[in-house]
Structure 1
Amino acid sequence: MMMRSFPPFLLLLPVLPVPAAAQSLLPGNWDVTSKSVELVVPGAPGFLLRMMRGKSKTEHKCLPVAEARNGVATLLAPKPEAKCTIERSVIAGGHIDHVMACPQKKGPPLHVSSVGSYATTTFNVRTTMTGQTDKGPLRIVADPAAVRTDTRCRN
C-alpha cells in the first residue's frame, strides 16, 4: 500500500453504508463524528498513525423529511466510488450489525464490520476495517456516532 492511498481509507469510515430498512430517523440537521481508535497501516509512517489515533472528524448532514424514513442508511450512505458490496446487514430493534467488502486498487477486498445501536435521534457503531495490503495486514478501528442537532436543515 502506498502512503498516498492511506487517507481515503479513513475518509470512508464515517460514511460506511448500511442499506435502507424500516427504521426511521427524525429529519433535520445531523452531525456524524468518527473517532479513530486503532490504526495499523503497513508502510504508513508511525508518527502519522500516532498523530491520527484518537482524532475525530465531523460531517454535518441534512436529513430531509423524504429520506428520514429510510433510517440509518440515509446518513451512512457511501460515496458511489467506494463500490462496496454488502455481505450482511441486520438493522432492527435498535441494533446495527453490518458487514461489507470494499475493493482495493490492488489486492483482495477490505472487510468492514459495523456493530452498534440506533434510536430516532442518535446512532453509535464500532467499525472495524481489515484487509491485506502488499506491505502487510491492515486494521483500522473507528467509532462513528451521530446526533440530531436541529429540527431543520441549515442552508
Structure 2
Amino acid sequence: MLRKTILALTSLVLLGGSSAAQEQTILPGYWDVTNKVTAIISQTKKEKRCITPAEVSKFVMGPSNRHYKCDYPTRVFKDGHITLKGNCATKNGSKAAIQATGSYTPTTFNMMARISTTYAGVPLSGEAVTTAKRISESCPASPEAQ
C-alpha cells in the first residue's frame, strides 16, 4: 500500500500538475519515454508515445488525477530548465512534499523528482526520473504501432 502511494505520487510529479506551459517546451511527435521510480524498490517503464500538440502541456506539466491533488507554488519552465516545488494530497489526507528539477529542449525532456512523506510516523522518500527523446515528427498511423 505504501509503495503504491509513493509510486502514484511520483508518477504525478513526472506528469506535473495541471497548468498551461509558460513558454514552448517540447515539440509534439513520437517520443521514446523512460520512467524510473525508486521507492523501497526500483521500477522502470519504457514506452513509445505519441504526444499531440494538445498533449504537450499535459506531458511536461500534466494532470492531477482523481486520487491526488497537487499544488506547485514553485513551477518554472524557462530557458530549458525545470523547477517544481509543491505538495500532493490524497482524498484521505495523506500528503507528500515534492521537488523536481530538470531540463528540456524541443526534442528532449529530463526530470528528476524527490518525494518525501511519512507513513505511520516513519519518514519515507522516493525518487523518480523521466527521460524522453523525440524520435519522429509524426506518430505511427495505427495505435497498435505505439
1:77 corresponds in structure 2 to 62
What percentage of residue pairs aligned between the two structures are identical?
Answer: 30
* Alignment match, 2:10: 13
Residue 144 (str. 1) matches residue 130 (str. 2): yes
**Which of 50, 61, 78 in structure 2 is aligned with 1:92?**
78
TM-aligned CA distance change 1:78 to 1:36, over 3 Å: same
Q: CA deviation digits over 1:106-144, x for unaligned, max 9?
A: 555201111011100111111000012224111001211
Q: 2:114 aligns with which of 112, 125, 128?
A: 128
State the SS of the aligned residue for 1:84.
strand
Tell me the TM-score normalized by structure 2.
0.77
TM-score w.r.t. length of structure 1: 0.73
**In structure 2, distance between residues paired with 1:130 and 1:124:** 20
Give the drift of 1:149. Answer: 2.2
RMSD over aligned CA atoms reads 2.4
Aligned to 2:88: 102
Name the structure 2 match of 1:62: 50
Name the SS for the 2:4 alignment partner: helix
Whole-angstrom CA distance in 2 between matches of 1:12 and 1:34 = 13
Q: Which 5+ residue runs of structure 1 have no aligned equivalent?
A: 40-48
Confirm or deny: 8 A CA contact 1:61 1:75 kept in the other structure. no
Conservation of the 8 A alpha-carbon contact between 1:25 and 1:121? yes
Point out the structure with the larger strand share. 2
